[in-house]
Chain A
Amino acid sequence: MKIVLTFLLLLAGLGWCLIPPPAPTPLAFKVPKGWPAPGYDFKAHPLTKEGFELGRKLFYDGILSRDGNFPCASCHQPFAAFSTLEHPLSHGFNDQFTTRNAPGLFNLAWQTAFHWDGGVNHLEVQPLTPITAPNEMAEDLGAVIGKLQKDTAYRRMFRAAFGEGAVNSQRLLKALAQFTVSLVSARSKYDKVKNGEAAFNQYEQAGYLLFQQKCAACHREPLFTDLSYRNTGLSVDSALMDFGRMRITGRKEDSLKFKVPSLRNVYLTAPYGHDGRFSNLSAVLDHYNRGVIQSPTVDTLLKRGIPLTANDKFYLISFLGTLTDTSFVKDPRFMPE
């Protein structure tokens, strides 16, 4: 009897190598009604349940950072729509600051370039920047792979998501992208109004009309960004000396241009601006009203700023509140296990 049991145990132990892992379960990506087609190539980079779950575990795990204290989620907190709550600049390894405000992570499937300056051309390779930056996660990519290879749970999850073969950086990056590309925020009050499931109150309605006249050229619906790079007339911070997109293109016409951020979940993603210099929405609107610094590359739409009365500001801020997507920030699929 004992021998039979031993044999069965051995047989079970051998099972893993005799039977190939089951193929991962495909995961569908739903495009919200009325939205444009995503720029992300889901055919070449398909989603699977196992890949997504591995990506989620990695996203919330300090194992990707040198000292274990800085998972992706340390700067991209779910309750702040995956930005950093109330921090102009985020904190990284060894009490250091990042050099730009952490953007919220959602609707990334529609973006074809990442970072405030658009320097990263594919979602899969984006995590290489924070993982290796000495002021962020400060880790060596090879060291990350080494740690993951030693971890039984990770080895099992990598195998389930990608089949036989080594834990490697390509699989790590593909898993992370499967999680982050799945972060879709499209269930705000604004969306419900658009779908006829809710109605704006009078302040929100007035704000929406103002928004369409004064803001929507750059913060284009339904993504609330046209994904372009523009100079909004901010002064140059003498400590950061950040000239934005010019660093990427090398063209002086791109001096001080930064990506137009989405306004979805804008109530949750304060502070604002590429360096987080505006602590609240009122300060942002004051800037557009009378703070725009004219320079050769300042956006043509801002040559006279955006004149706003105190009432306009009140209505606009009322409307912007309708872009908060509570179901997104509380979605259990996106939470750590």
Chain B
Amino acid sequence: MKKLLFIGLFSALSAACLQARAQDGRANARVSRSPAASAKLRIRFQPVVDGQALERGKTYTDPFGEAYTVDRLRFYIGQVQLFSGNTPPGPIDPTHSTDPGHPAHPGRLAHPDNGYFLFDSDDSTAAAFTLSLAPGRYDSLSFLLGVDSLYNVSGAQTGALDPQKGMFWTWRTGYVMAKLEGSSPLSHLPQHRIEYHIGGFEGIHKVIRTLHLGFPPGTPDLPGASLVLKEGSVTEVLITADCNAWFRGAHEIRIAATPSCSEPGILAREFSGNYAKMFQVRRVSP
């Protein structure tokens, strides 16, 4: 009988313990959420080349006829905001806090990991993230492509910004905001590698960009020009990221002449000007 009593007591204590730890877990995962945020928006990125889904190792041709393959595409996304109305979104304060726990206004990114998301073409779990938002109609979205300068100057970060993610320069402090790696027969580097690591967070070398994307009207997938988030449901926006955009645009960059970029500077700025145009909203579902 005594024994049974002890077993009973032990079970009760274990249960209490597990509950306490579960609560700890919830406390750690605390995210900023506005009270009205009851709809969910999933933003999924799909890497492509000229509209075709990217396959690792497959040979593609850049706008100048140069063959190349892609092993990895990575980029940081932060400070997602959604906008209603026909007026173009106003300027966004780049120093706006994205600290978890900071009360979010509807449409602000509400996501742990310092509010940053790292897309990684090599990791299927790193293709999408979900925000909690107020239900309603939205006409455009904006996000930061890169990591706000604040997080480049304030010491060790964690979550998506953990230097373990391989997106942090050690010899000169700063995040690699986006990287494209692969190979090309035209590259004169060892193993014909191509490596574009794009960073720079201050002054003339700043490559952080705020991008605005509309929801295109009249496509078969998307009958209206707006995104409608419904209470209690998950809506997914699929955004494609075209690798060929890295080479064309305001600046024509040829692999044969430029197989790598590994530090902030004029070349990194040119790449960022090009790849800022790589995104397109392709589909909204359901």
- Given the complex, which residues of B lie within 8 Å of A45, measured CB to CB? 155
B211 at the interface (CB under 8 A from A): no
- Given the complex, which residues of B lie within 8 Å of A44, measured CB to CB? 154-155
Q: Mark A117-145, 1 if CB is under 8 A from B, else 0.
A: 00111111100110011000000011001
Inter-subunit contact B13/A170 (CB<8 Å)? no
A17 at the interface (CB under 8 A from B): yes
Q: Mark A5-18, 1 if CB is under 8 A from B, else 0.
A: 01100110010011
- Given the complex, which residues of A lie within 8 Å of B263, measured CB to CB? 250
Inter-subunit contact B155/A125 (CB<8 Å)? yes
- Given the complex, which residues of A lie within 8 Å of B171, measured CB to CB? 115, 119-120, 129
Q: Mark B2-26, 1 if CB is under 8 A from A, else 0.
A: 1100100110011011001100100
Q: Mark A148-173, 1 if CB is under 8 A from B, else 0.
A: 00000000000000001100111011
Separation of A180 and B3 alpha carbons in the complex (Å): 54
Inter-subunit contact A170/B153 (CB<8 Å)? no
B156 at the interface (CB under 8 A from A): yes
Q: Closest A-chain residue to B17, C-beta based? A: A17
User: Which of A115, A132, A169 makes the CB contact (< 8 A) with B158?
Assistant: A169
B270: min CB distance to chain A, Å: 15
- Given the complex, which residues of A lie within 8 Å of B89, measured CB to CB? none
Interface segment, B134-142, B161-169, B222-230, B235-243?
B161-169
B61 at the interface (CB under 8 A from A): no
Inter-subunit contact A18/B155 (CB<8 Å)? no
Taking CB atoms and an 8 Å cut-off, the chain A residues in 15-37 that contact chain B are 17-18, 20
Inter-subunit contact A122/B155 (CB<8 Å)? yes
Inter-subunit contact A120/B173 (CB<8 Å)? yes
Inter-subunit contact A145/B155 (CB<8 Å)? no
Given that A18-B20, A174-B156 are contacting pairs, would A169 and B163 also be in contact in the complex, using a CB cutoff of 8 Å? Answer: yes
Given that A3-B3, A10-B10 are contacting pairs, would A124 and B155 also be in contact in the complex, using a CB cutoff of 8 Å? Answer: yes
Separation of A14 and B3 alpha carbons in the complex (Å): 19
- Given the complex, which residues of B lie within 8 Å of A6, measured CB to CB? 6
Q: Mark A169-201, 1 if CB is under 8 A from B, else 0.
A: 110111001000000000000000000000000
Inter-subunit contact B173/A3 (CB<8 Å)? no
Inter-subunit contact A123/B155 (CB<8 Å)? yes
Inter-subunit contact B6/A11 (CB<8 Å)? no
Separation of A1 and B192 alpha carbons in the complex (Å): 74
- Given the complex, which residues of B lie within 8 Å of A128, measured CB to CB? 163, 168, 170
User: Which of A17, A172, A248, A250 makes the CB contact (< 8 A) with B21?
Assistant: A17
Q: Closest A-chain residue to B16, C-beta based? A: A18
B157 at the interface (CB under 8 A from A): yes
B265 at the interface (CB under 8 A from A): yes
Say whether chain A's binding surface is mostly helix, strand, loop, or mixed: helix
B interface residue count range (under 10 / 10 to 19 / 20 to 34 / 35 or more):
20 to 34
- Given the complex, which residues of B lie within 8 Å of A11, measured CB to CB? 13
Inter-subunit contact B28/A164 (CB<8 Å)? yes
Inter-subunit contact B173/A121 (CB<8 Å)? yes
User: Which of A121, A141, A165 makes the CB contact (< 8 A) with B163?
Assistant: A141
Report which residue of B17, B20, B163 has the largest number of chain A beta carbons within 10 angstroms of its beta carbon: B163
Separation of A172 and B14 alpha carbons in the complex (Å): 31
B58 at the interface (CB under 8 A from A): no
Given that A11-B13, A119-B171 are contacting pairs, would A168 and B158 also be in contact in the complex, using a CB cutoff of 8 Å? Answer: yes
B157: min CB distance to chain A, Å: 6
Given that A3-B2, A125-B156 are contacting pairs, would A14 and B173 also be in contact in the complex, using a CB cutoff of 8 Å? Answer: no
B24: min CB distance to chain A, Å: 5
Inter-subunit contact B158/A14 (CB<8 Å)? no
Q: Mark B160-190, 1 if CB is under 8 A from A, else 0.
A: 0011100010111100000000000000000
Inter-subunit contact A132/B156 (CB<8 Å)? no
Taking CB atoms and an 8 Å cut-off, the chain B residues in 13-43 that contact chain A are 13-14, 16-17, 20-21, 24, 28
- Given the complex, which residues of A lie within 8 Å of B164, measured CB to CB? 141-142, 145, 168-169
Inter-subunit contact B24/A173 (CB<8 Å)? no
A111: min CB distance to chain B, Å: 13
- Given the complex, which residues of A lie within 8 Å of B3, measured CB to CB? 3
Given that A122-B155, A125-B163, A174-B155 are contacting pairs, would A14 and B172 also be in contact in the complex, using a CB cutoff of 8 Å? Answer: no
Q: Closest B-chain residue to A140, C-beta based? A: B164
- Given the complex, which residues of A lie within 8 Å of B21, measured CB to CB? 17
Inter-subunit contact B153/A121 (CB<8 Å)? yes
User: Which of B17, B24, B28, B265 makes the CB contact (< 8 A) with A250?
Assistant: B265
B89: min CB distance to chain A, Å: 31
- Given the complex, which residues of A lie within 8 Å of B24, measured CB to CB? 20, 164
Given that A122-B153, A122-B173, A173-B156 are contacting pairs, would A14 and B168 also be in contact in the complex, using a CB cutoff of 8 Å? Answer: no
Inter-subunit contact B170/A132 (CB<8 Å)? yes
Given that A18-B17, A250-B265 are contacting pairs, would A7 and B9 also be in contact in the complex, using a CB cutoff of 8 Å? Answer: yes
Separation of A44 and B153 alpha carbons in the complex (Å): 13
Separation of A27 and B158 alpha carbons in the complex (Å): 24
- Given the complex, which residues of B lie within 8 Å of A120, measured CB to CB? 170-173
- Given the complex, which residues of B lie within 8 Å of A169, measured CB to CB? 156, 158, 162-164
B187: min CB distance to chain A, Å: 22
14 new A-B contacts, CB < 8 A, other than A7-B6, A128-B163, are: A10-B10, A18-B13, A18-B20, A20-B24, A44-B154, A44-B155, A45-B155, A125-B156, A125-B173, A142-B164, A164-B24, A169-B162, A170-B156, A250-B265
Contacts A/B (CB < 8 Å), 11 sampled: A3-B3, A6-B6, A10-B10, A44-B155, A122-B153, A122-B155, A125-B173, A141-B164, A168-B162, A174-B155, A250-B264
Ranked 6 nearest A-B pairs via Cβ: A124-B155, A173-B156, A170-B158, A119-B172, A124-B156, A128-B170
